[in-house]
């Protein structure tokens, strides 16, 4: 049952990445579903999970994300997805999640800027990098997949 829940999380991450890549929007229902699946995972996990620490990480990421949103550094959907996945990452995998997300985001930004410049190379005026939209939900989902891998690994390959 626990693996089915983790598989559902993977499907939701893929849906978030797809929606952001296609429409530059992450539906609220995806983030809500990710959050609501977490208590179910607590009940089915093969070992105890300190949900207090996971909740604390979630709240910290949400507060930090809200500040980023108010400063127009990140979009609301990106912040909600980041917080929802941080609930799953918890204290053990939050660093892996954030670092992977940052690396994937940097790679995605370079790719998007390059593709945009290739498409617009006939423009008289060069395109400012700030004007290139980045579907950062794709990078957040990539970080989420890596965190999820670490959650699934002990179940699939017990010592």
Per residue in 42-82, pLDDT (tens digit) is 999 988 999 999 999 999 999 999 999 999 999 999 999 99
Is the CB of residue 150 less than 8 Å from the CB of residue 93?
yes
The predicted structure's pLDDT at residue 159: 78
Is the CB of residue 84 less than 8 Å from the CB of residue 36?
no
The count of structural domains within the chain is 1
In the structure, what pLDDT confidence band is assigned to residue 18 with cuts at 50, 70 and 90?
Answer: very high
User: How far apart are the C-alpha atoms of 109 and 135, rounded to whole Å?
Assistant: 9
Per residue in 103-149, pLDDT (tens digit) is 999 999 999 988 887 877 766 566 666 678 899 999 999 999 999 99
Return the exposure string of 54-93: e unless at least 16 CB atoms fall within 10 Å of the residue's CB, then b. beebbeebbeebeebbeeeebbebbbbbbbbbbbbbbebb
SS3 assignment for the chain: CHHHHHHHHHHHHHHHHHHHHHHCCCCHHHHHHHHHHHHHHHHHCCCCCCHHHHHHHHHHHHHHHHHHHHCCCCCHHHHHHHHHHHHHHHHHHHHHHHHHHHHHHHHHHHHHHHHHHHHCCCCCCCCCHHHCCCCHHHHHHHHHHHHHHHHHHHHHCCC
Identify the domain containing residue 132 by its residue range.
Answer: 2-156
The predicted structure's pLDDT at residue 77: 97
In the structure, what pLDDT confidence band is assigned to residue 12 with cuts at 50, 70 and 90?
Answer: very high
């Amino acid at each position: 049952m626990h693996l089915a829940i983790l598989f559902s999380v993977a499907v939701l991450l893929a849906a978030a990445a797809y929606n952001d890549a296609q429409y530059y929007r992450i539906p609220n229902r995806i983030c809500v579903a990710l959050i609501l699946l977490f208590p179910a995972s607590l009940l089915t996990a093969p070992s105890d999970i300190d949900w207090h620490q996971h909740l604390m990480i979630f709240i910290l990421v949400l507060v930090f994300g809200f500040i980023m949103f108010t400063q127009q550094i990140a979009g609301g959907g990106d912040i909600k997805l980041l917080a929802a996945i941080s609930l799953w990452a918890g204290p053990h995998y939050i660093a892996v999640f954030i670092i992977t997300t940052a690396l994937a985001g940097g790679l995605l930004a370079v790719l998007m800027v390059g593709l945009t410049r290739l498409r617009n190379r006939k423009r008289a005026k060069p395109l400012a990098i700030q004007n290139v939209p980045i579907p950062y939900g794709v990078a957040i989902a990539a970080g989420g997949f890596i965190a999820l891998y670490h959650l699934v690994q002990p179940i699939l390959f017990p010592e």
